[in-house]
Structure 1
Amino acid sequence: MPRPLPRTAFPAGPFRPADLVAAGHPVARTRHPSLARPTRGVRSPAWPSDLQDRVAAFTLALPADVAFSHRTAALLHGMPMPRSVERDPVLDIMRRSDRTRIRRAGCRGHRGLERRAVDEVSGVRVVGLADTWCDLGECVGPTLGRDDLVVAADSVVGRLEAGAGSLRQVLDGRCRPRGRRVLLDALSLVRPGVRSPMETRARLMFHDAGFPEPEVNGVVRDAAGGWLLEGDLVWRDQQVVGEYQGEDHADRRRRSTDAQRAGLASDLGWTVLELFAEDVWRSPRRRLTLLRFARELGLETSGLRIG
């Protein structure tokens, strides 16, 4: 069994064996069995533990003219993605159309980089935010759908100069883009000011059921005009608030504050209804939730798509 080499024998992160040899280290050291091989031509003291580690390792082996794209770029930009996308070990890589498509184990090669903006994220080249969202239209399928596109767009529109208009401008500039129909559908449902993916999914649940559209993060004031609360989903005419209870609402102090504000709102004629993840994801809970909100909103259920 080979003896482990001292940690000082290698760089702290991934490296190219050729660089180590050029620095005067023996070739045999780069072949030590304790080293991980994330991709051809790269070694590392440990296997990459997350996306950033994989990207750092592959960047050493890829040509300088590529950029990470599609699902990989979405994750690097911080767009919320389904878990199946987060767990995908394959990286999306894009290059200009006049260059050879990247063919490397662990990579999906794409071309067309000359028609996309390129940003630098954490020191690596990544297709720009708006272009990345439009490229997700090519990935629509069993693991990525319309709602996922809306969630992704809601999370980033505040970072774009023209908000959702920036996404539409890029999409309109594409020539017959794949997924155009679902991208346009998703774009029509994007709203600024959304603060979490589950707020978006709750709003889409009501939209798909035929409910009137609520305000997103609308402010509710008391009779004197003072701030009372900010509701995730606010039906102002009916004085109904839908409040999504995520993990940040779980501690006792936060729940106590929420309950006090809901009580004050109730004294002024408002109804505050809580929403949980199970109300969105689980079919029986979703139906009961929609019926409860329909009742408070005074809606005829015969005109709704509750199921």
Structure 2
Amino acid sequence: MGRVELPEDLGDGPFSVGQARAAGLRDGDLRALHRPTRAVRVAALPASLVERATAFAVALPPDAAFSHATAARLLGLPLPAALEAEVLLDVMRPTGRSRTRRAGCRGHRGLESREVVLCHGLRVVGGADTWCDLGELPCGSMTVDDLVVVADALLGPPHPLAVGTLSAALERRVRPRGRGALLDALTLARPGSRSPMETRARLMFVRAGFPEAEVNGVVRDANGGWLLEGDLVWRRQRVVGEYQGEAHADRRRRSSDAQRAGLARDEGWTVLELWAEDIWSPPRRRTTLRGFAAALGLDPGTLRIQ
């Protein structure tokens, strides 16, 4: 597309065709600009979700807000890959208004019963209501574990909500789809998790019948000195499970982790590593669970190791 010199009062962001005409742009100028949605123009093609949503917001009515998977992504909540890659933007309006019908959008109604917050300068359905909306997505979109991952994220920074806030949001719904899955997720949600895979690691042990671990618990030496903060801590048994994600792949980080684990072992702790494959691969999962069972002094026959 050809370059158009934009009037200063249009700024660098998206603007409506009406604003463009009022600023003196001609039809040829408008055709040379990017058209993210009907009646909106922008100099540079929107690349990120925030840029796309900002462009669409120019054309949306003032009573609309982004919802469902779009809201979750704008709020920084972790979603399954299929929803992270969703192209359509979810837009919600009050029940008494017509659904948004615009290419690139999926319209919803019911905004009057949801909290709306500002995120990236955009009107977005709040975290607790978005969690409920995710549970109402078509069957298969979000598993119970996916909903727990989102709930755990909402219970910590930068949000952070209380379990009671999620529960209250669900109770305000009238016969919501997915209520059973949301209630199950609510009983499994815990504050303290710092990543989706930490949550999934915790759930792996819960589903296998292990005693519940402390999340990101501090381990100290005999004199009260700080040794490490374990992702999963079974304090009575003095066992720590450390999930090793991409952040731990750096050689210097691996060296630091090994040194801290060695100090903890000197104090009588058992430190076991966990990897993504230990959670996703059934053979690796079974081996991992048996290894932790042995460290915790549990009889594998009493557990649900699958």
Match of residue 254 from structure 1:
253
Aligned equivalent of 2:56, options 55, 58, 63: 58
Which secondary structure state, in structure 2, belongs to the residue aligned with residue 37 of structure 1?
coil
- Tell me how far apart the structure 1 counterparts of residues 133 and 240 of structure 2 sit (CA, whole Å): 35
Distance 1:25 1:160, change over 3 A: closer
Alpha-carbon distance between aligned partners in 1 of 2:119 and 2:222, rounded to the nearest angstrom: 47
Deviations 1:194-237 (A, max 9, x none): 11111001001111111111010111111122221111001112
SS at match of 1:305: coil
Do the aligned residues in 1 keep the contact of 2:4 with 2:29 (CA within 8 Å)? no
- Check whether the contact 1:68–1:125 (CA below 8 A) recurs between aligned residues: yes
Correspondence 1:172 to 2:167: no
Q: Show the 5 A alignment for 1:1-307.
A: 4-8=2-6, 12-32=12-32, 35-139=33-137, 141-158=139-156, 163-307=162-306
Contact 1:160 1:166 in 2 (8 A): no
- RMSD value, Cα: 1.8
| C-alpha contact (below 8 Å) 2:154/2:161 kept by paired residues | no
Identity of aligned residues (%): 61
Aligned length: 303
Shift of 1:160: 5.7
Letter in 1 for 2:99: R
**Structure 2, gaps ≥5 residues long:** none
- Contact 2:68/2:134, CA 8 A, preserved across alignment: yes
Shift of 1:21: 0.9
Aligned-pair CA distance for 1:187: 0.7
Distance 1:300 1:161 in 2: 37
Q: Which amino acid in the other structure matches residue 148 of structure 2?
A: V
Please tell me whether the aligned partners of residues 154 and 160 of structure 2 are also in contact (alpha carbons under 8 angstroms). Answer: no
Alignment partners' CA distance in 1, 2:4 and 2:39 = 22
Secondary structure of the corresponding residue to residue 71 of structure 1: helix
Closer, same or farther in 2 for the Cα pair 1:140/1:279, shift >3 Å?
farther
Structure 1 residue runs of 5 or longer lacking an equivalent are none
Q: Deviations over 1:79-118 (max 9, x none)?
A: 1111211110111111111111111121111111111111
Partner Cα distance (2:164, 2:141) in 1: 26
Provide the rounded CA distance (Å) in 2 between the counterparts of 1:145 and 1:161: 22
In terms of mean alpha carbon deviation, does 248-257 or 124-133 score higher? Answer: 248-257
| Deviation digits for residues 147-169 of structure 1 (CA, Å, limit 9, x no counterpart) | 11111111121356761111111
Q: Distance in 2 between matches of 1:4 and 1:94?
A: 35
